[in-house]
Amino acid sequence: MIAGWGPDDRDGLTPLPGGVTATPGFRASGIVSGVKPSGRPDLALVVADGPATAAVMTTTNLVKAPACVLAERHAADGHARAVVVNAGNANVCTPEAEAHAERLTAAAATALDLDPTEVLPMSTGVIGVPLPIETIEAAMPEAAAALTADGGGRAAEAIMTTDTVTKEVAIAVTDDAGGRCVIAGMAKGVGMIEPAMATLLVVLTTDAPINGALLQQLLRGAVGRTFNRISVDGDGSTSDTVALLATGTAEHPPGIDAITRGLTAVCADLAHAVVADGEGATRVAAITVRGAAQEADAERLARAVATSLLVRAAIHGADPNWGRILMAMGTAGVAFEPRRVSVAIGGVTVCRFGVATSFDRGIASAAMRKPEVTIDVDLGVGTAAATLLTCDLTPEYVRFNAEYTT
């Protein structure tokens, strides 16, 4: 994993196969309801076998999908049992969107014999086209019947839109006192990925015992350092949602520190998978700004670099054009002293104290041709740092997004 990305250390964190159902006490399913014209799976359920606490974060976009509003409302009491996801239609900006979000949730609740307030809905796909809710309602009993304790992979497949691969992570968290729990998740990207978790749907499960208020706090912390620090195209969607369900059935759970690191690791790995699968992307770039007076400064500067089209095009071209990096930082609205700034690309120092070094362009360019490129900026002031992940901007990204709905 990239230095600076995810938890500070991974002691006691052991990868497990699978995704949301790697956590004991969860079942999942993914079926074809018929919303996606392609006929691919498009309806997923993730359900806890018993009571669970819940935390939800949704998009900060002012245009917020009704599903986001409902999911927040249903998790507000810190409890939920199930997540229902439909892919292929975001159910936003249509006259019936709110009613359809209610019906999506109610259909899942009925099929699962739960109260609707125990169900968290998510929708992703095209905006402004009415959701074929009857199609989904008709398919919901099949989705419920298909629930299995190893269904995580099928659920991960059913939430994909333009994703090319499923994204699943599961980690066993242990501590020195013999504590153990599982934290697992699935995600979908892959366009509109920017601050505030754009067109990102994430379902996380754990058997750790955590009350709703603390769960929300843990989720906010982990998302802030992971999903809120990735950028695929600088656009934030109307439907982003991260939901975390916790059953508390782990018999000897680890301490809160281990759980926090585990949750951060799961989110970091899923976020990395989202960037690596960014539309048209051929490589992941980790932008680290260190030596800052405060972490917020480092994050804003790293974000300015990660969202610069010229920087991202240079990454695609394996072009160590570090002038664009300084240019992008200069637009961030954060004060720094150019004469103290050093920049390394792929470990090659290309700029020291604000001026070019006599670096070997061939070596720097070769380092940028790897699937993971690091750009390290040192402000030379303080000790705070932040890392953001982005991907290269490619002609394929543009071609793809010029042709998405037509």
Which listed residue (77, 176, 360, 396) binds a second copy by CB under 8 A? 396
Q: Which one of 79-87, 246-254, 259-267, 331-339 is the stretch in contact with a second copy (CB under 8 A)?
A: 331-339
Alpha carbon distance 291, 367 (integer Å)? 23
**Is there binding between residue 177 and a second copy (CB under 8 A)?**
no
**Of residues 32 and 129, the one with the C-beta less far from a second copy:** 129
Q: Which one of 157-165, 258-266, 286-294, 314-322 is the stretch in contact with a second copy (CB under 8 A)?
A: 314-322
Question: What is the smallest separation between the CB atom of 269 and a second copy, expressed in angstroms?
Answer: 26
**Of residues 105 and 308, the one with the C-beta less far from a second copy:** 308
Q: Helix 295-306 to helix 309-316 angle, to the nearest 10 degrees?
A: 60
**Of residues 109 and 343, the one with the C-beta less far from a second copy:** 343
Residues 366-395 that bind a second copy (CB under 8 A): 393-395
**Is there binding between residue 331 and a second copy (CB under 8 A)?**
yes
**Is there binding between residue 397 and a second copy (CB under 8 A)?**
yes
Question: What is the smallest separation between the CB atom of 214 and a second copy, expressed in angstroms?
Answer: 30
**Is there binding between residue 282 and a second copy (CB under 8 A)?**
no
Which listed residue (33, 226, 237, 374) binds a second copy by CB under 8 A? 237
**Is there binding between residue 324 and a second copy (CB under 8 A)?**
yes
Q: Which one of 60-68, 113-121, 132-140, 377-385 is the stretch in contact with a second copy (CB under 8 A)?
A: 60-68
**Of residues 107 and 318, the one with the C-beta less far from a second copy:** 318
**Is there binding between residue 281 and a second copy (CB under 8 A)?**
no
The overall longest dimension of the chain from CA atoms, in Å, is: 68
List of residues 6+ apart from 349 with CB closer than 8 A: 342, 343, 357, 359
**Is there binding between residue 318 and a second copy (CB under 8 A)?**
yes
Which listed residue (220, 252, 361, 369) binds a second copy by CB under 8 A? 361
Q: Residue 126 forms beta bridges with which residues?
A: 89
The answer to whether 199 is a known catalytic residue is yes
Which listed residue (69, 129, 214, 381) binds a second copy by CB under 8 A? 129
Question: What is the smallest separation between the CB atom of 243 and a second copy, expressed in angstroms?
Answer: 21
Backbone phi and psi for residue 231, each to the nearest 5 degrees, phi listed first: -145, 120
Which listed residue (116, 209, 354, 382) binds a second copy by CB under 8 A? 354
Alpha carbon distance 332, 93 (integer Å)? 32
Alpha carbon distance 315, 77 (integer Å)? 45
**Is there binding between residue 323 and a second copy (CB under 8 A)?**
yes
Contact 90, 191 (CB under 8 A): no
Residues 85-104 that bind a second copy (CB under 8 A): 90, 92-95
**Of residues 25 and 125, the one with the C-beta less far from a second copy:** 125
- Find the catalytic residue in 105, 124, 162, 199: 199
Question: What is the smallest separation between the CB atom of 165 and a second copy, expressed in angstroms?
Answer: 21
**Is there binding between residue 328 and a second copy (CB under 8 A)?**
yes
**Residues that bind a second copy in the complex, under the rule CB under 8 A:** 61-64, 90, 92-95, 126-129, 191-192, 194-195, 233-238, 307-310, 313-314, 316-319, 321-324, 326-332, 334-336, 338, 351, 354-356, 361, 365, 393-406
Active site residues: 199
